[in-house]
């Protein structure tokens, strides 16, 4: 069923780095919910695999001394959703990954694998873009951190060097403190489907809850990689909340997104969805922040 040339199992992060150097063609196997399916279909037949699944040091969510939320790359979607730190500070991420596949996939699939696939439809990706997440990568020369906006290079390609593996996703305190967010996934059916589009919005309101101090709007499947609607965001900052403002911000996302026609949806439909999603996400995020619309 699975045409695997050879399977290597890492015993530590350092051992994984050594195996990466020794076997540069080996595919990293985390949860396996994508790679094993492709191998069974024959698309990745005869490949070497490097399993990091046994590295428990890469699992779990912790709050570091400076307030940074650290999510180990092998943390399952189910764990992310149920984790009390995620629920308290960045609950929208838990809600987003809870829309991935079914329970079996969420139990085995990892947030690191989801981001390292480099696909624009990943439900975690647009949400992490809206949180200004950082990606931690560990290699032969040590550890480096890359903003998630720079991590995605092009469709299906991410900034992981030949000796590296992703070890964590980091969300700095300044990126989540005082923010509330909402995520909407649009798909052709409600369960077990890849997103036709995804939108994640975070807002930070003024102390009196009448002004949008900051807003972040991120999309999946509105371009070859996840993206931020920077023009629309600029229109919303330091402005008094109103339905008219929300309409202006939502319509402005057209200047930021880069949708295409595909068998899943036409470019025109994706544009229409993007505007409506931003509108609904903005309203919900403002309400969650204590504001009125």
Same domain, 154 and 170: yes
**Spatial CB neighbours of 258, under 8 Å, sequence gap ≥ 6:** 222, 223, 224, 227
Same domain, 67 and 149: yes
Same domain, 157 and 243: no
The enclosing domain of 203 has a CATH number of: 3.30.390.50
Alpha helices in the chain (DSSP H): 13-22, 35-40, 77-82, 84-89, 91-97, 103-108, 111-116, 123-130, 148-151, 173-176, 230-236, 243-252, 267-288
Average pLDDT along the chain, 293 residues, taken 10 residues at a time: 88 97 93 82 87 96 98 98 98 95 91 93 94 98 97 96 97 98 88 85 98 98 97 98 98 96 90 98 98 94
pTM above 0.85, yes or no: yes
The pLDDT value recorded for residue 43 is: 84
The pLDDT value recorded for residue 77 is: 96
Domain count, the chain: 3
Which residue among 174, 201, 234 closes a domain? 174
Same domain, 168 and 65: yes
Same domain, 75 and 100: yes
Same domain, 258 and 196: yes
Same domain, 28 and 65: no
Same domain, 239 and 263: yes
Same domain, 21 and 76: no
Range of the domain at 37: 4-51
Same domain, 25 and 60: no
Same domain, 39 and 61: no
In a domain, 293, yes or no: no
């Amino acid at each position: 069923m699975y045409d695997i040339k050879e399977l290597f199992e890492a015993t530590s992060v350092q051992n994984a780095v050594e195996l990466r150097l020794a076997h540069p063609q080996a595919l990293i196997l985390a949860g396996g919910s994508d790679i094993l399916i492709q191998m069974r279909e024959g698309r990745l037949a005869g490949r070497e695999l490097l399993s990091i699944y046994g590295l428990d040091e890469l699992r779990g969510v912790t709050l570091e001394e400076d307030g940074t939320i650290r999510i180990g790359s092998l943390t399952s979607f189910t764990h992310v959703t149920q984790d009390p730190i995620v629920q308290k500070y960045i609950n929208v991420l838990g809600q987003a990954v809870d829309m991935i596949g079914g329970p079996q996939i969420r139990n085995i699939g990892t947030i690191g694998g989801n981001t390292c696939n480099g696909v624009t439809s990943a439900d975690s990706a647009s949400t992490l873009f809206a949180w200004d997440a950082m990606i931690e990568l560990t290699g032969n020369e040590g550890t480096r951190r890359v903003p998630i906006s720079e991590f995605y290079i092009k469709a299906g390609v991410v900034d992981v060097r030949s000796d590296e593996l992703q070890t964590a996703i980091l969300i700095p305190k300044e990126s989540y403190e005082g923010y509330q967010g909402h995520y909407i996934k649009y798909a052709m059916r409600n369960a077990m489907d890849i997103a036709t589009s995804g939108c994640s919005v975070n807002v930070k309101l003024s102390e009196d809850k009448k002004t949008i101090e900051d807003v972040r709007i991120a999309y999946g499947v509105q371009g070859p990689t996840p993206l931020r609607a920077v023009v629309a965001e600029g229109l919303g900052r330091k402005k008094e909340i109103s339905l008219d403002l929300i309409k202006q911000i939502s319509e402005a996302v057209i200047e930021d997104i880069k949708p295409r026609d595909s068998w899943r949806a036409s470019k025109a439909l994706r544009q229409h969805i993007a505007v409506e999603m931003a509108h609904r996400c903005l309203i919900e995020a403002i309400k969650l922040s204590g504001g009125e619309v």
